[in-house]
């Protein structure tokens, strides 16, 4: 363990203050190109931050809302690795010539840093990975625990600049080791070093929170313990009302009926059958026993504590920008990789959630509350799985701060947006292969307050079994590979009324278009 003693930190802090003037002066030599900070939560529901309806206090993320712009309709790919693959390459399906927006920014003179989760689909080429595109990186693959694991078999290594590293050997500032804090420690430490170069920086900060396992600092859990005894029914209703009050959601869109998890392809581990049978189901809160309510209050208290701690760390980053005088021309984006997760990956029910020796997941009914006002969850193509809170702050460009936009967007649009902002060059070829055109469209005109056409279509949902395809206001979506459903999102954003029988010709046109797109993507991916 390489814990940094606070007394040493005080010396470093004073030195940093003395050095900050020269840093600001040096950074001023490249004021035209913005710095970029891309922050991604993991398995965070649409309503899990307070500026989107939550009771969980997230004042620092709320700053981004107050000083930037909120998207009411923004999509991810409904799954961890698919969202990251599409975001960083700008392709729904790429090939070995696909490029990373981070790598292109580095080629354009940006100092690039990545501290957090990494998880890609198999088609993403190695030259797009963090160790190849960043000057400094600390990553992990898929899922790891938040505290230093107490059981070696649960441990997965962190990757520090391409080298497997035991978490005990990482430098961190606060005992005990907690992953959300550690990534921020590294981010701030190396942002300061980046400013010395006088170049703009591109920081990717993909936190793991609040993805399972449900683990949080004791003091953070205590803040929320008992607040969820009101139950998931009341939480959903209160969030829905707050979303309307804030302007996140139009009152014409009703709250959906509670959802159980009906994903047939995500089963339970084998044991504790009586407990596991309840995990995917919605049950009215007033029908639960007092012991169940207490246990489920703790579960959601830990989840809320994880979101709260992530927000505290985002505040550390925003404070750094203020202290260095560089917030004005820094783009800060915040989003989630998919909706809240209802899946049973629990281990050892004898240990309650929260501590380093626990390994527990969120019950589906709580995940449904996280995804208010929508139905369903992570992996689903319905809005509960793919609709993300998305905020952008860029004071130098966004002049209508504190407002919303109804411009529909998707993670596929982030690449061309940042390409425009950085002035990086998109290559025509890579190692003798043609580089595929980007699938999204830049959101820069929207940030500038101008009218802009959205991307022609949006794709999401995990695999063909849960696929969604949206074009204009119309959307087709399916569950478990079953019959397609059709919704008009302009009139029915919460997907209450399936119009497939009323408008079969519209559904057919959408499906035909999607089949064409799917075949085109397959052919270009195979055309190495």
pLDDT in tens, 313-336: 999 999 999 999 999 999 999 999
In 1-129, where does DSSP find H-type helix? 6-27, 59-67, 80-89, 101-107
Predicted confidence at residue 528, as pLDDT, reads: 53
* Active-site residue flag, 119: yes
Predicted confidence at residue 188, as pLDDT, reads: 97
The DSSP bridge pattern shows strands 111-118 and 409-410 to be unpaired
**CA torsion, points 394, 396, 399, 401, in degrees to nearest 10?**
30
d(CA 428, CA 102): 17
Task: Kindly state the average pLDDT of the residues 146-173.
Answer: 81
420 has pLDDT over 90? yes
Q: Which value, in Å, is the radius of gyration of the alpha carbons in the chain?
A: 22
The three-state DSSP-derived secondary structure of 246-258 is HCCCCCCCCCCCC
Task: Kindly state the average pLDDT of the residues 204-214.
Answer: 98
Structure tokens at 464: 């063909």
Distance of CA 127 to the CA centre of its chain: 23
Structure tokens at 416: 């061309």
* Separation in Å, CA 284 to CA 256, 257, 287, 293: 15, 11, 6, 11
Query: Does 373 sit behind a cis peptide bond, omega within 30 degrees of 0 on the bond before it?
Result: yes
DSSP line for 226-291: TTTTT-HHHHHHHHHHHHHHHTSS-TTSPPPPP-----TTS---SS-HHHHTTTT----GGGS-HH
Predicted confidence at residue 179, as pLDDT, reads: 96
Phi first, then psi, for residue 333 (nearest 5°) are: -115, 140
Predicted confidence at residue 206, as pLDDT, reads: 98
* Separation in Å, CA 148 to CA 5, 151, 169: 18, 9, 10
Predicted confidence at residue 24, as pLDDT, reads: 36
Q: What residues contact residue 356 under an 8 Å CB cut-off, 6+ apart?
A: 145, 146, 147, 148, 149, 150, 176, 215
Residue scoring higher pLDDT (2 or 453): 453
* Active-site residue flag, 268: no
d(CA 97, CA 117): 23
* Separation in Å, CA 20 to CA 326, 360, 477: 11, 43, 52
Task: Kindly state the average pLDDT of the residues 264-271.
Answer: 93
Catalytic residue among 25, 91, 114, 119: 119
d(CA 117, CA 290): 37
Predicted confidence at residue 32, as pLDDT, reads: 87
d(CA 229, CA 235): 10
391 has pLDDT over 90? yes
Work out the mean pLDDT of the chain and round it to a whole number. 92
12-40 residue pLDDT tens: 333 333 333 333 333 343 568 999 999 99
d(CA 337, CA 44): 8
> Which residues are 261's β-sheet partners?
none
Q: How confident is the model at residue 150 (pLDDT cuts 50, 70, 90)?
A: low
Task: Kindly state the average pLDDT of the residues 235-239.
Answer: 98
451-510 residue pLDDT tens: 899 999 999 999 999 999 999 999 999 999 999 999 999 999 999 999 999 999 999 999
pTM here? 0.93
Q: How confident is the model at residue 167 (pLDDT cuts 50, 70, 90)?
A: confident
Element (H, E) at 507: helix 504-526
d(CA 76, CA 87): 9
Task: Kindly state the average pLDDT of the residues 234-251.
Answer: 98
Distance of CA 489 to the CA centre of its chain: 23
Identify which of 417, 400, 408, 374 has the alpha carbon closest to the alpha carbon of residue 254.
374
Which residue's entry shows tokens 């009906």?
262
d(CA 227, CA 261): 24
Task: Kindly state the average pLDDT of the residues 120-147.
Answer: 94
Task: Kindly state the average pLDDT of the residues 408-412.
Answer: 98
Taking a C-beta distance cutoff of 8 angstroms, is the pair 259, 384 a contact? yes
Taking a C-beta distance cutoff of 8 angstroms, is the pair 438, 92 a contact? no
Burial class from Cβ neighbours inside 10 Å (0-12, 13-18, 19+) for residue 435 reads middle
Q: How confident is the model at residue 152 (pLDDT cuts 50, 70, 90)?
A: low
5 has pLDDT over 60? no
The three-point CA angle 240-245-248 to 5° equals 70
- What percent of the chain lies above the pLDDT cut of 90? 88
Taking a C-beta distance cutoff of 8 angstroms, is the pair 27, 328 a contact? no
Predicted confidence at residue 16, as pLDDT, reads: 37
Domains and CATH numbers, the chain: 2-456 (3.40.720.10)
Q: What residues contact residue 49 under an 8 Å CB cut-off, 6+ apart?
A: 56, 58, 61, 62, 307, 311, 389
Task: Kindly state the average pLDDT of the residues 250-270.
Answer: 96
């Amino acid at each position: 363990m390489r814990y940094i003693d606070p007394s040493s930190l005080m010396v470093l802090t004073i030195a940093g203050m003395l050095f900050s003037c020269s840093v600001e002066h040096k950074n001023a030599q490249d004021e035209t190109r913005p710095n970029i900070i891309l922050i991604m939560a993991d398995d965070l529901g649409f309503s899990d931050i307070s500026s989107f309806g939550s009771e969980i206090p997230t004042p620092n993320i709320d700053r981004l809302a107050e000083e930037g712009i909120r998207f009411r309709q923004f999509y991810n790919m409904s799954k961890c690795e698919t969202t990251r693959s599409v975001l960083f390459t700008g392709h729904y399906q790429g090939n070995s010539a696909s490029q990373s927006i981070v790598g292109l920014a580095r080629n354009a003179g940006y100092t690039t840093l990545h501290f957090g989760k990494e998880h890609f689909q198999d088609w993403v080429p190695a030259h797009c990975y963090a160790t190849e595109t960043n000057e400094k990186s600390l990553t992990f693959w898929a899922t790891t625990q938040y505290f230093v694991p107490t059981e070696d078999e649960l441990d997965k290594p962190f990757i520090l600049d391409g080298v497997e590293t035991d978490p005990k050997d990482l430098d961190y500032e606060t005992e005990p080791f907690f992953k959300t804090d550690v990534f921020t420690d590294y981010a701030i430490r190396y942002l300061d070093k980046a400013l010395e170069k006088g170049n703009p920086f591109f920081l990717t900060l993909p936190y793991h929170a609040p993805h399972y396992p449900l683990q949080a600092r004791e003091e953070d859990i205590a803040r929320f313990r008992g607040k969820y005894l009101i139950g998931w029914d009341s939480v959903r209703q209160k969030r829905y009302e707050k979303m309307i009050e804030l302007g996140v959601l139009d009152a014409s869109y009703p709250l959906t009926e509670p959802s159980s998890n009906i994903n047939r392809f995500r089963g339970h581990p084998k044991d504790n059958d009586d407990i596991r049978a309840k995990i995917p189901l919605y049950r009215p809160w007033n029908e639960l026993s007092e012991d169940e309510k207490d246990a489920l209050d703790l579960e959601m208290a830990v989840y809320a504590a994880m979101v709260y701690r992530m927000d505290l760390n985002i505040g550390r980053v925003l404070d750094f920008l203020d202290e260095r005088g560089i917030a004005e021309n820094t783009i800060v984006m915040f989003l989630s990789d998919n909706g809240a997760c209802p899946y049973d990956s629990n281990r050892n029910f004898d240990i309650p959630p929260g501590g380093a020796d626990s390994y527990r997941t969120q019950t589906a009914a709580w995940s449904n509350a996280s995804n208010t006002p929508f139905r369903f969850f992570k992996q689903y193509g319905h809005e509960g799985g793919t609709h993300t809170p998305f905020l952008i702050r860029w004071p130098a460009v966004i002049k209508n701060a504190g407002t919303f936009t109804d411009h529909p967007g998707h993670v596929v649009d982030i690449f061309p947006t940042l390409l425009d902002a950085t002035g990086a060059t998109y290559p025509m070829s890579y190692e003798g292969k043609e580089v595929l055109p980007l699938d999204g469209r830049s959101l820069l005109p929207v940030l500038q307050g101008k009218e802009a056409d959205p991307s022609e279509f949006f794709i999401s949902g995990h695999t063909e079994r849960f696929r969604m395809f949206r074009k204009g206001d119309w959307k087709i979506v399916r569950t478990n590979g079953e019959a397609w459903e059709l919704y008009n999102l302009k009139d029915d954003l919460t997907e209450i009324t399936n119009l497939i029988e009323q408008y079969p010709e519209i559904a057919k046109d959408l499906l035909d278009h999607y089949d064409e797109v799917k075949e085109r993507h397959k052919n270009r991916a195979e055309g190495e």
